[in-house]
């Protein structure tokens, strides 16, 4: 099995899975019907991408694993999503800021992944980037609305930015699998995206009259499977059926 490629795919797909799961929790509880429907669309896009990635990963694993085995039957430490996407839906500001900080990265990432020497990944990236381009527009627009809306919304969204900003640096961390795949021309050298990422989010945050936090510290660990406490609860919920009723078809 191509271990590095397999791990590399999980590194991309787990982000979409966990963020899709978080957005799914919101369905029916949004601030307005229209917004509820929009957030669900993003969740559906991400979960659709997840299926393509995991189906490909399952093929590489080549031991009769299915997309669902990969999605539902790993242990806490085996999920390699970044910490940002597992942060809870504290309020709509956190939902939007989390989305914005992720979308901006993911768009740049997919843009490069389209050039991957791995044709399957390039094809998934090519399809996904249109979806993510829309997500990015949606979340950026909302950052501006909330930042430059009322003083209450400004305060709330600034609080979310201050809290979530410390998870952004991890987006650019490279695991061993990342480094191996970059060397093979399959993976994206995220180091090259970093400057552009921060200048893009700075531009939008400033347009939204928000302060870019001057953090000297960042949290990381998700890509090594060392998560925040939030992930355990998310997995307990997500894996409930598979764990309670093992080896059944649904």
Partner 1 sequence: MGEEKIKNLEEQFEARILRDEKIEPKDWMPEKYRKTHIRQISQHAHSEIVGMLPEGNWISRAPSLRRKVALLAKVQDEAGHGLYLYSACETLGISREELYEQLHTGKAKYSSIFNYPTLTWADMGAIGWLVDGAAIINQVPLCNTSYGPYARAMIRVCKEESFHQRQGFEIMLKLSEGSEEQKTMAQDALNRWWWPSLMMLGPTDAESVHTEQSMKWKLKRKTNDELRQQFIDQTVPQADLLGLTIPDPELKWNETTGHYDFGVIDWDEFWQVVKGHGPCNKERMKARVDAWDNGAWVRDAAVAYAEKKQERKEKKAV
Partner 2 sequence: MKKNWPLWEVFVRSKNGLEHRHFGSLHAADEEMALENARDVYTRRNEGVSIWVVESKHITASNPEHNGELFEPAQDKIYRHPTFYELPDEVKHM
∠ CA 40-44-50, nearest 5°, is 145
Rule CB under 8 A: say whether 28 interacts with partner 2.
no
> Which of 152, 199, 214, 216 touches partner 1 by CB under 8 A?
152
Rule CB under 8 A: say whether 249 interacts with partner 1.
yes
In whole angstroms, how close is the CB of 156 to partner 2 at the nearest point? 15
CB of 59 or CB of 137, closer to partner 2 = 137
> Which of 78, 91, 176, 207 touches partner 1 by CB under 8 A?
91
CB of 13 or CB of 193, closer to partner 1 = 13
Closest CA to 96 of 210, 215, 219: 210
Rule CB under 8 A: say whether 241 interacts with partner 1.
yes
Contact 152, 158 (CB under 8 A): no
Using CB under 8 A, which residues numbered 135 to 194 contact partner 2?
A: 137-138, 141, 145, 150
Q: Strand (E) positions, 29-172?
A: none
Rule CB under 8 A: say whether 121 interacts with partner 1.
no
> Which of 120, 133, 153, 228 touches partner 1 by CB under 8 A?
153
Cα distances from 175 to residues 12, 102, 179, 180, 201, in angstroms, run 12, 18, 6, 9, 24
Rule CB under 8 A: say whether 66 interacts with partner 2.
no
Map residues 26-55 to x or -, x wherever contact with partner 1 holds by CB under 8 A.
-xxxxxxxxxxx--xx-xx--xx-xx--x-
CB of 50 or CB of 164, closer to partner 1 = 50
∠ CA 11-72-112, nearest 5°, is 20
Cα four-point dihedral sign 155, 159, 160, 162: positive
CB of 37 or CB of 183, closer to partner 2 = 37
Contact 235, 79 (CB under 8 A): yes
The interface region with partner 1, picked from 57-65, 127-135, 147-155, 173-181 by CB under 8 A, is 147-155
Indicate the burial class of 97 (C-beta count within 10 angstroms; 0-12, 13-18, 19 or more).
buried
Residue 7 CA to residue 74 CA, distance in Å, equals: 13
CB of 74 or CB of 144, closer to partner 1 = 144
138 binds, among partner 2, partner 1, none (CB under 5 to 8 A by kind): partner 2
Residue 126 CA to residue 133 CA, distance in Å, equals: 11
Using CB under 8 A, which residues numbered 92 to 121 contact partner 2?
A: none
∠ CA 75-78-79, nearest 5°, is 100
Cα distances from 12 to residues 37, 211, 233, in angstroms, run 25, 29, 21
Q: Under the rule (CB under 8 A), what is the footprint of partner 1?
A: 21, 24-25, 27-37, 40-41, 43-44, 47-48, 50-51, 54, 67-68, 71-72, 91-92, 144-146, 148-150, 152-153, 156, 237-238, 240-242, 245, 248-250
């Amino acid at each position: 099995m191509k271990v590095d490629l397999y791990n590399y795919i999980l590194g991309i797909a787990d982000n979409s899975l966990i963020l899709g799961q978080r957005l799914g929790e919101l369905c029916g509880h949004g601030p307005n019907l229209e917004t509820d429907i929009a957030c669900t669309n993003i969740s559906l896009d991400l979960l659709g991408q997840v299926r393509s990635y995991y189906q490909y990963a399952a093929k590489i694993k080549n031991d009769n694993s299915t997309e669902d085995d990969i999605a539902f039957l790993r242990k806490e430490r085996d999920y390699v999503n970044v910490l940002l996407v597992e942060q809870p839906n504290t309020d709509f500001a956190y939902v939007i800021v989390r989305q914005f900080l992720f979308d901006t990265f993911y768009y740049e990432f997919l843009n490069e992944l389209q050039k991957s020497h791995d044709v399957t990944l390039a094809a998934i990236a090519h399809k996904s980037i249109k979806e993510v381009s829309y997500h990015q527009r949606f979340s950026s627009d909302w950052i501006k609305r909330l930042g430059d809306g009322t003083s209450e919304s400004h305060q709330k969204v600034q609080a979310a930015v201050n809290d979530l900003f410390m998870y952004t640096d991890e987006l650019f961390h490279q695991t061993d699998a990342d480094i191996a795949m970059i060397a093979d021309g399959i993976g994206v050298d995220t180091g090259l995206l970093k400057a552009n990422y921060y200048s893009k989010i700075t531009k939008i945050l400033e347009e939204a009259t928000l302060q870019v936090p001057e953090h000297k510290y960042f949290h990381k660990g998700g890509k090594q499977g060392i998560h925040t406490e939030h992930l355990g609860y998310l997995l307990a919920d997500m894996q409930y059926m598979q764990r309670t009723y093992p080896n059944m078809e649904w």
